Amino acid sequence: MRQTEGLYDVVLIDFPDPRSVELGKLYSTDFYYSLRQRMQKHAMLSVQSTSPYRATAVYLCIAETLRSAGFQVLPYHDYLPSFGDWGWHLAWNDKEQSPDELLQNMHQLPKFSVATRYLTPQRMRAAFAFGKGMLTPPPWLRPNSKMQPVIMAYYAQGFD
């Protein structure tokens, strides 16, 4: 995390998967709301969010929890040799830029202004593409909170 004037402008979260009560609290509306209060208006947050294919309910729950805490949310994923297809969520405070607008701006990048070893504009565009219906939460899915830690039940039913 980089902090400016007491507020963060970039936050990268790589918590362990929510397989216990203690870890589930890290993926709660309470935690994300508290974090959002400590972020600049244009700050960006990236959250490790398990496998969107092998633990779909957990992945979608994290997105719903971030939205419930007041964030704009954009899911993404990539293949990791040690994990398979893995997912994250970008989140931000700024209500002036919708997820569709941010995605459109990223898709228009012809090249990056910094050198990268792996990432290309084409690879980045692919990271935000999902199969049909993959991001549609089932009607029973709820955000995770400290008082209603649903994410652990989703995790228990998750990995195929």
C-beta of residue 26 within 8 angstroms of C-beta of residue 61: no
Distance CA 22, CA 45 (A): 21
Query: Is 14 an annotated catalytic residue?
Result: yes
Torsions phi, psi for 18 (to 5 deg): -80, 70
Q: How far apart are CA 128 and CA 111, in angstroms?
A: 17
Q: Which of 14, 30, 78, 160 is catalytic?
A: 14
Torsion sign (Cα): 46, 147, 30, 100? positive
Q: Could you tell me the sign of the dihedral formed by the alpha carbons of 118, 71, 148, 57, in that order?
A: negative
Residues known to be catalytic: 14
